[in-house]
Amino acid sequence: MQVHQPYARMWVMFGGYARDTCMVEFNTVGDGVPEPLDRFALFGYEDRSHAPNWLRLVKQRDEGAGVAGRICRELGPDADLRMSVSCMHGNEGWRVVSDPALNQCEIDVAPLRRR
């Protein structure tokens, strides 16, 4: 049975809102085992809603690298931090834009200016 509904719009997830957003996951590696890192708790925030925008919202890979640099400074000189960043890429969906195998604390990252 085919129904024609000329007034119903096709549903589109992220039709415009949140298209410039990335998902970021951080893991610390100790003894070769990755453990999820709560970046909000690390900086003393109860949850993401209390965190500042620089920590909460990542819109591109470079912003994720800036957050990683701050996390590395907080964790100390021997930290092993892995970052996985996936960003919305137009209508094509999510695209992985970072290498989760790299230790972010060994990469020279320019400090992200405070917002």
Q: What is the pLDDT of residues 14-60, one digit of tens each?
A: 555 556 788 999 999 988 899 999 999 999 999 999 999 999 988 88
Q: pLDDT tens digit string along 50-100?
A: 999 999 988 888 899 999 999 999 999 899 999 999 988 777 788 888 888
Q: What's the domain range around 92?
A: 22-106
Q: Which pTM was predicted?
A: 0.74
Residue 6 belongs to some domain of the structure: no
Which residues pair with residue 85 across a beta bridge? 24
Residue 68 belongs to some domain of the structure: yes
Residue 13 belongs to some domain of the structure: no
Residue 66 belongs to some domain of the structure: yes
Residue 11 belongs to some domain of the structure: no
Q: How many domains is the chain built from? A: 1
Report the half-sphere exposure of 23 (CA within 13 A, side-chain side). Answer: 8
Res 35: pLDDT? 95
CA–CA gap between residue 53 and residue 93 (Å, rounded): 23
Residue 59 belongs to some domain of the structure: yes
Q: Is 30 in a helix, a strand, or coil?
A: strand
CA–CA gap between residue 31 and residue 97 (Å, rounded): 26
The alpha carbon torsion through 62, 37, 27, 104 (nearest 10 deg) reads: 40
Res 89: pLDDT? 77
Residue 49 belongs to some domain of the structure: yes
Residue 16 belongs to some domain of the structure: no
